[in-house]
């Protein structure tokens, strides 16, 4: 079944960028967001924004969800009068939100009962990757459902990895973001140590990035968003705290003993007075005195 119209639910930093990438790829795009301001921004970008969720759920031939919380995805995907009542064709929901595997599996089963599919497909690459169609997608779900929406996935991503069955994409994303949360916080502390010992971060960072201590935190995040004081990656500290919390919950559910991960979770939970939830998540690595500490 050809896909000509894609619905994007959630037009925030990521969702609006993805909607634009889909439009450039030749799809008609219907967008929905509860915020009138976000709908106006989408309309200005050439997206057909709708205040009615039902119009998007019934008018699209594939759906992309980009929402902050798993419960929001589940509530909107199963809203009365919406997707569960469509019988004209099979729709696949591509959920790019970071969720917990259990919710993804439960939602996938419920959609399957109505003849639809779900891919848990969290992304990496930030707002710039969303706007440029160069995201990395970690996809859980059936190979059949992925094949149905492959043109949509291709329009959104430079790299899409089918990790495994339903829930696998979110497991991979939680593992990834747990590492990011730890790498970034430790990179900030390492720069603080260097400066305290008399060596500026600008001098030590090229050494780290030419040696074995390098990571995406030192190669990309510190130069792009921390050293210059910009702190404008587009990803909030609150969202990273959510993801770290989901990883900690998954560890508890699986019985995995992760003492370092537990320490990372505590660090992110206990720094709200210095790095508030609305702040950019890269502020956790701030190593020089600032109004935020």
- Each residue's pLDDT tens digit, 189-216: 999 999 999 999 999 999 999 999 999 9
Count other Cβ atoms within 10 Å, centred on residue 35.
12
- The residue from 38, 173, 183, 241 that is catalytic is 173
Is the pLDDT at 49 greater than 60? The verdict is yes
Exposed, middle or buried, 86 (CB in 10 Å: 0-12/13-18/19+)?
Answer: middle
DSSP letter, residue 141: S
Break the chain into its structural domains and give their ranges: 5-166, 171-285
Predicted pLDDT of residue 22: 97
Distance (Å, rounded) from C-alpha 17 to C-alpha 131? 4
- Percent of the chain clearing pLDDT 90 (strictly above): 94
Token readout for 240 is: 């990273």
State the average pLDDT over residues 9-18. 95
Distance (Å, rounded) from C-alpha 277 to C-alpha 45? 28
Task: Give the DSSP H/E element, type plus range, for residue 163.
Answer: strand 157-164
Name every residue whose Cβ is closer than 8 Å to that of residue 283 and which is 6 or more positions away in sequence.
Answer: 231, 237, 274, 275, 292
Exposed, middle or buried, 137 (CB in 10 Å: 0-12/13-18/19+)?
Answer: buried
Predicted pLDDT of residue 36: 95
* Model pTM score: 0.92
Instruction: For domain 5-166, give its CATH number from 3.40.50.720, 3.30.300.30, 2.160.10.10, 1.10.540.10.
Output: 3.40.50.720
Mean pLDDT of the chain: 95
90 in active site: no
Q: Which of 265, 268, 10, 252 is nearest to 130 (CA)?
A: 10
Predicted pLDDT of residue 293: 41
- Residue 28 confidence class, pLDDT cut points 50, 70, 90: very high
Predicted pLDDT of residue 70: 86
Distance (Å, rounded) from C-alpha 76 to C-alpha 82? 8
The CATH architecture assigned to 171-285 reads Orthogonal Bundle (1.10)
Pairing of strands 62-65, 5-9: parallel
122, 14 in Cβ contact below 8 A? no
What digits encode the pLDDT tens for the residues 82-125?
999 999 999 999 999 998 999 999 999 999 999 999 999 999 99
Alpha helices in the chain (DSSP H): 13-24, 36-44, 53-59, 70-77, 101-113, 126-132, 143-148, 150-156, 168-196, 201-210, 216, 237-254, 259-269
């Amino acid at each position: 079944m050809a896909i000509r119209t894609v619905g994007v639910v959630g037009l925030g930093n990521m969702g609006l960028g993805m909607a634009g990438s889909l439009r450039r790829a030749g799809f008609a795009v219907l967008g929905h967001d509860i915020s009138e301001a976000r709908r106006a921004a989408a309309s200005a970008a050439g997206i057909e924004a709708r205040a009615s969720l039902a119009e998007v759920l019934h008018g699209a031939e594939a759906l992309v969800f980009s929402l902050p919380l798993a419960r929001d995805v589940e509530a909107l995907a199963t809203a009365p009068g919406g997707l569960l009542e469509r019988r004209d064709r099979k729709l696949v929901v591509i959920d790019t939100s970071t969720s917990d595997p259990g919710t993804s599996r439960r939602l996938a089963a419920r959609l399957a009962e109505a003849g639809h599919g779900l891919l848990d497909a969290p992304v990496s690459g930030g707002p710039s990757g969303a706007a440029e169609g160069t995201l990395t997608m970690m996809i859980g779900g059936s190979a059949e459902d992925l094949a149905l929406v492959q043109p949509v996935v291709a329009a959104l991503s430079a790299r899409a990895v089918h990790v495994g069955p339903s829930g696998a994409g979110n497991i991979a994303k939680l593992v990834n973001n747990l590492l990011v949360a730890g790498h970034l916080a430790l990179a900030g502390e390492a720069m603080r140590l260097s400066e305290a010992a008399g060596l500026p971060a600008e001098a030590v960072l090229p050494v780290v990035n030419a040696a074995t201590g390098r990571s995406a935190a030192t190669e990309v995040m510190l130069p792009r968003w921390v050293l210059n004081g910009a702190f404008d990656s587009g990803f909030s500290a609150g969202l990273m705290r959510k993801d770290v919390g989901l990883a900690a919950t998954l560890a508890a559910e699986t019985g995995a003993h992760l003492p370092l991960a537990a320490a990372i979770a505590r660090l992110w939970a206990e720094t709200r007075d210095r790095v508030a939830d609305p702040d950019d998540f890269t502020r956790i690595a701030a190593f020089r005195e600032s109004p935020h500490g």
